[in-house]
Amino acid sequence: MTDPFFSPKGVAIIGASHDPHKLGYGALRNLIRYRYRGGIYPVNKRSYEILEKTCYPSVSDVPDPVDLAIIIVPAPAVAETLRECGERGIQHVVIVTGGFSETGPEGKIMEEELLAIAKEYGIRIVGPNCIGTIDTHTPVNTTFVVGMPEPGEIGFISHSGAMVAAIIDWASGSGIGFSRIVSLGNQIDVNETEMMRTIALDPNTKVITGYIEGVANGQRFLKEARKTALEKPFLMLKGGKGESGAKAVASHTGALAGSKEAFQTAFRHSGIQEAETIEEMFEWARAMAWQPLPKGDRVAVLTNAGGPAILAVDALEKQGLKIASLSVETKAFLSKRLPEASSVNNPVDVLAGSGPATYTLALEALLSDDNVDAVVVIQAPQDWFLPVSLAEVVGEVAGSHHKTVITSIMGKASVEEALKILQKRKIPNVAFPERSASVLAAMINRRKWLEEAKDGSPERIKADQNKAGEAVHDANWAELLKVYGIPFPDQREAASKVEAIEIFKSMSGPVAMKLLSDDISHKSDIGGVILNVKTAEEAGEAWDRIKKAAQSSNGKLKGVLIQEMISEAPEVITGFVRDPQFGPMVLFGSGGTDVELYKDVDMAIAPLTKVQAHKLMRRTKVYQKLQGWRNFKKCDIEAVAQVLVALGQIASDHPQIGELEINPLVVLPEGKGTKAVDVRGSLQAEN
């Protein structure tokens, strides 16, 4: 995609106005006020001049060069105006006007007309119902919002125009500079996926941020977002994560995989780091734009007050970061040079009476210590010296080392000048020290993802595709899993009570007996699962109880599954769901009957490599149990990883399967494998 949305040669403002309260006035004012150097052409057939700029009666009268039009006319007139742009040869248009699909079906029809015109003339559209675009380095500001961010390294994409307006106003006093900003509106043409690639290719952009509420094409988003994140940090704030986004489905797996979880999984796979708040996202962005990523997770804290340092340490440990163990040499150096009552352990406390020179010595020592990957410098308010002095020395010392430095010079009015110096020196400051932990954790997670993104392609499991296809056709999920090498306990199906007793007699040891029915999903909830059946008499009684349970639930009894009893082994749930936006996702977590109660599950995009399967398991609490916990021996974690890889391949090989779930998958001791105790699945509904 070309750059006329951000670096046009000339801009036509169709709907420019004399009225300061009109959007057409604001867009023209911004192009002039913020020193856009290309051609500025207001279009209004009732005016000869607006803001000292010659006004043209129609876009066909606008002289060259012009390669971008901003349309701010009433919604019913937009289609004809767009056609006039096409006739004039303008192929990039920002439609600010609202009143389209956001208003209902009639507005949607109007949008379809716009798309037809755009296709006819080869026009690219941002909007409608948007604010516009900004490039601080061109500079160009096509929005109508008062204000222009400082030039910087952060790109921002937003589905919400109001969010862009707020960010423009907030940025003026935040010390955060932007490179490019775009409001996408209804994105009938240019969407978030295409725009993120455009901004990623901008040499002035070092970090990409965004606010999104959905994606236009999930599969394409995954591919392009991952490509983008490999090139530059990509941070996102997702709107609309409430539980109402989750769909109700028959399986546990589907119930646990809602819209929120799907987006989190997609972001993780793509290397997008998801922030919880706007402020957090831009704190991360500023640090990643200005500072090198930490090489490890060992953090030193330098402070002049104990309380703020304690808060910082608590927050760092909560984020999983390590408080660095300083070397003997560093401690000896500090002991000789810091005030007598100072602490030379980490956190290093230089006390309230120390000045910039003491901070300089201490910071130099910490950044020179091979045991330290990053330093948080804290200054609580005091009267000994101005914060400006500390900002100068921190900038000087940090600039001579290639390690991460975050400051927390606390205060507001008294620290404004100091913050300007830190901004000039590219040192990110957080208002309160505990917020440094979130920033450092995000930076470390970025480094880890880049290292782990080299996992390679999933290995293919050899599977007889003819047998697999037959199993899918017959919805014989157990047979399908066996084709892909997933083992089951010794088990057989009985169609009658007599057959059930005979099968029991032929099997050694206790068994579990389970209802077989197409009408009942959660068999244990209605008494359709009976465990530890030890005698033939108990097997007959179990048949009767299961038959009665089926009748009470108005379900049709197909028979009973008689299965070898496996006890005293951890149970996990695994399977996959097919998200409507992002495609198949493999799920793993704590299994058994309480799976929905604990919700100890996580997901990964299918197909998986072995490395990705292990990462998925490590994100759950049940992983600790599999490693050996209390009465459980260390389990066969490698065999579980193989099952996850197989499920990912099944999901990719057979797109007609909507959901597939193993619950429980019993994990045997190390080297003994796994057993899929119960499996269920469903085919996707045909369109």
Strands (E), 580-634: 583-590, 601-605
| pLDDT higher than threshold 50 for residue 325 | yes
Pair (229, 333) in one structural domain: no
Q: Are 233 and 285 in contact (CB under 8 A)?
A: yes
Q: Are 11 and 66 in contact (CB under 8 A)?
A: yes
Q: Are 446 and 284 in contact (CB under 8 A)?
A: no
Tokens of 150: 């400082």
Q: Which 8-state DSSP code applies to residue 190?
A: S
Which class for 670: exposed (0-12), middle (13-18), buried (19 or more C-beta within 10 A)?
Answer: middle
Average pLDDT, whole number, for the chain?
Answer: 92
- CATH label of the domain that carries residue 589: 3.30.470.20
Q: Supply the angle between the helices 637-653 and 610-618 in degrees, to the nearest 10.
A: 120
| pLDDT higher than threshold 60 for residue 245 | no
CA nearest to 499, candidates 508, 509, 507? 507
- CATH label of the domain that carries residue 383: 3.40.50.261
Residue 251's pLDDT band, with cuts at 50, 70 and 90, is very low
Pair (502, 555) in one structural domain: yes
pLDDT at residue number 587: 96
Pair (618, 559) in one structural domain: no
The verdict on residue 154 lying in a domain is: yes
Residue where a domain terminates, one of 564, 596, 630: 564
Pair (31, 140) in one structural domain: yes
Pair (377, 515) in one structural domain: no
Pair (591, 556) in one structural domain: no
The verdict on residue 471 lying in a domain is: no
Alpha helices in 484-535 (DSSP H): 497-506
Domain count, the chain: 4
Pair (32, 157) in one structural domain: yes
185-209 confidence digits (pLDDT tens): 999 999 999 999 999 999 999 999 9
Residue where a domain terminates, one of 540, 564, 588: 564
For residues 75-88, average pLDDT: 98
Pair (432, 448) in one structural domain: yes
Q: Are 124 and 1 in contact (CB under 8 A)?
A: yes
With the CA atoms of 429, 433, 438 and 444 taken in that order, what torsion angle do they form, in degrees rounded to the nearest 10? 70
Element (H, E) at 93: strand 92-95
The verdict on residue 287 lying in a domain is: no
Domain with 131, as residue range(s), is 10-239
The verdict on residue 312 lying in a domain is: yes
Please give the model's pTM, rounded to 2 decimal places. Answer: 0.89
pLDDT at residue number 169: 87
| pLDDT higher than threshold 60 for residue 257 | no
pLDDT at residue number 252: 41
Residue 594's pLDDT band, with cuts at 50, 70 and 90, is low
- CATH label of the domain that carries residue 557: 3.30.1490.20
Pair (519, 584) in one structural domain: no
Q: Give 265-269 contacts, CB < 8 A, sequence gap 24+.
A: 265/582, 265/585, 265/602, 265/603, 265/604, 265/605, 266/218, 266/221, 266/222, 266/225, 266/581, 266/582, 266/605, 267/225, 267/236, 267/238, 268/604, 269/222, 269/226, 269/604, 269/605
Cβ atoms within 10 Å, residue 43 = 28
| pLDDT higher than threshold 90 for residue 508 | no
Residue where a domain terminates, one of 452, 480, 506: 452
Element (H, E) at 512: strand 511-516
Tokens of 80: 């004809």
Pair (494, 447) in one structural domain: no
The verdict on residue 577 lying in a domain is: yes
Rounded-to-integer distance, Cα 411 and Cα 164, Å: 28
pLDDT at residue number 105: 93
| Residue 198 C-alpha from the chain's centroid | 20
Q: Are 587 and 257 in contact (CB under 8 A)?
A: yes
157-176 confidence digits (pLDDT tens): 999 999 999 998 888 777 88
- CATH label of the domain that carries residue 100: 3.40.50.720
Pair (102, 137) in one structural domain: yes
Rounded-to-integer distance, Cα 44 and Cα 29, Å: 15
Residue 473's pLDDT band, with cuts at 50, 70 and 90, is very high
| pLDDT higher than threshold 90 for residue 354 | no
For residues 146-156, average pLDDT: 95
| pLDDT higher than threshold 70 for residue 686 | no
Pair (554, 603) in one structural domain: no
Which residue(s) pair with 633 in the sheet? none
Cis check for the bond before 65: say yes or no (omega within 30 of 0).
yes
Rounded-to-integer distance, Cα 53 and Cα 687, Å: 56
Tokens of 496: 């009658």
Q: Are 403 and 372 in contact (CB under 8 A)?
A: yes
Phi/psi of residue 261, each to 5°? -65, -35
The verdict on residue 225 lying in a domain is: yes
Tokens of 478: 């157990």
The verdict on residue 71 lying in a domain is: yes
The verdict on residue 347 lying in a domain is: yes
